[in-house]
Amino acid sequence: MSIFSDIEPFMLRAFAVAVVMGPLCALLGVFVTARRMAFFSDTIAHGALAGIGLGFLLGFEDPTWPMVLFSLLVAAAILWLKEHTDLLTDTIMALLLSGSVAFGIIVLSMLKNKRGELHRYLFGDILSVGPDDVWLAVVLCAAIGAWLFAKLSPLALLTASEDLAHVCGVRTRWLNYAFVLVLTVVISLSIRLLGIILVTSLVVIPPAAARNLARNLRQQLILSLIIGLFGGAVGTVASYHWDIPCGPAIVMACIAVFIGSLLASKLWLNRPVKAKAV
């Protein structure tokens, strides 16, 4: 009690969200990076800006739900356009990303009392994590974490080959949709902490650092989870102590681990970071 009594409640809330969302993003990130979906994550994160603008416009004090819903809408739009047009996936995502950002900024600039919110959502704000956010993060993370653990094998098979997964009895279409849904919810809920611009880094950097050290997927999943936890915890503590923005602090903590893992793989493990075909 004495340890926590000196710490501001907002700091504890931010810490709680960071140590829950960090590992979850990192775990999802192993599949996101292997399935080349990093830009997809970035697009749905930017889609949240339009949701935030729309939420404020509709009179929401807390735009969390409009933000999650708009990100889901952007994710659905990507999937629909991919299936029903001949446009390249990158083109579709660039279109939706810039469209969402433009819409969000226009709406926020129209709402004169909400202009300050733009900076807060773009770069994340430790002060904006309320008690409700902590509960939402903990409950959702428990549910999504349980789902993810139950679906690790089908997800690994789906990532290796959709065709093989189908022949092995995996309902590939549903699993793909469920993965996108889960990723979208986790990304949009992490925005409070990391901000729209940096949120993808929590999905990309821990798996990349883990990849440098791991010999198989099991090791990469475990290491990625630990690095996500470490980044979230160290980043929020550093943010509090040195009065620096929370999102960048978490990202820099993860980057430090990445550099360490790269050096370790080159110098001590004597292992090529790039796998070579024999």
Partner 1 sequence: MSVTHTTCSHSAADIAVSVRDLRVTLGGQAILRGVNMHLHRGQLVALIGPNGSGKTTLLRAMVGLQKPDSGEVRLFGESNLKKALPRVGYVPQRLALDRSFILSVREFLALRLRETQHWFWHRHRDTDDRLHAAMAELGAESLLDRPIAALSGGQLQRVLIVFALLKQPDLLLLDEPTAGVDSPGEQDFYETIAEVHRKHKLTVVLVSHDLSMVYRHASWVYALNGVVCCEGSPEHVMNADSLKEAYGLNVTPYHHHNHSHGPGGGHAQ
Residues that bind partner 1 in the complex, under the rule CB under 8 A: 33-36, 149, 152-153, 156-157, 159-161, 163-164, 166-169, 208, 211, 214-222, 274-278
Q: Left (φ > 0), alpha (ψ -120 to 50) or beta: where does 270 sit?
A: left
> Which residue, 9 or 169, is less far from partner 1 as judged by CB?
169
> Which residue, 30 or 67, is less far from partner 1 as judged by CB?
30
> Which residue, 85 or 153, is less far from partner 1 as judged by CB?
153
> Which residue, 106 or 167, is less far from partner 1 as judged by CB?
167
DSSP secondary structure letter of residue 129: -
Question: Measured from the CB of residue 242, what is the shortest distance to partner 1 in angstroms?
Answer: 33
How big is the CA angle at 159 (ends 230 and 193), to the nearest 5 degrees?
30
Question: Measured from the CB of residue 192, what is the shortest distance to partner 1 in angstroms?
Answer: 29
For the record, the structure tokens of 118 come out as 């733009």
How big is the CA angle at 153 (ends 148 and 158), to the nearest 5 degrees?
95
Question: Measured from the CB of residue 19, what is the shortest distance to partner 1 in angstroms?
Answer: 20
Question: Which contacts of 133-136 are long-range, i.e. CB under 8 A and separated by 24 or more positions?
Answer: 133/13, 133/17, 133/64, 133/189, 133/192, 134/13, 134/16, 134/17, 136/64, 136/189
> Which residue, 30 or 107, is less far from partner 1 as judged by CB?
30
Tell me how far apart the alpha carbons of residues 105 and 180 are, in angstroms, rounded to a whole number: 25
The residue type of 175 is L
DSSP line for 224-257: HHHHHHHHHHHHHHHHHHHT--HHHHHHHHHHHH
**What contacts 62, CB < 8 A, 6 or more positions away?**
55, 130, 132
Question: Measured from the CB of residue 157, what is the shortest distance to partner 1 in angstroms?
Answer: 5
Contact 246, 193 (CB under 8 A): yes
**What contacts 216, CB < 8 A, 6 or more positions away?**
none
> Which residue, 155 or 186, is less far from partner 1 as judged by CB?
155
Question: Measured from the CB of residue 209, what is the shortest distance to partner 1 in angstroms?
Answer: 12
Question: Measured from the CB of residue 256, what is the shortest distance to partner 1 in angstroms?
Answer: 21
> Which residue, 101 or 158, is less far from partner 1 as judged by CB?
158
Question: Measured from the CB of residue 254, what is the shortest distance to partner 1 in angstroms?
Answer: 17
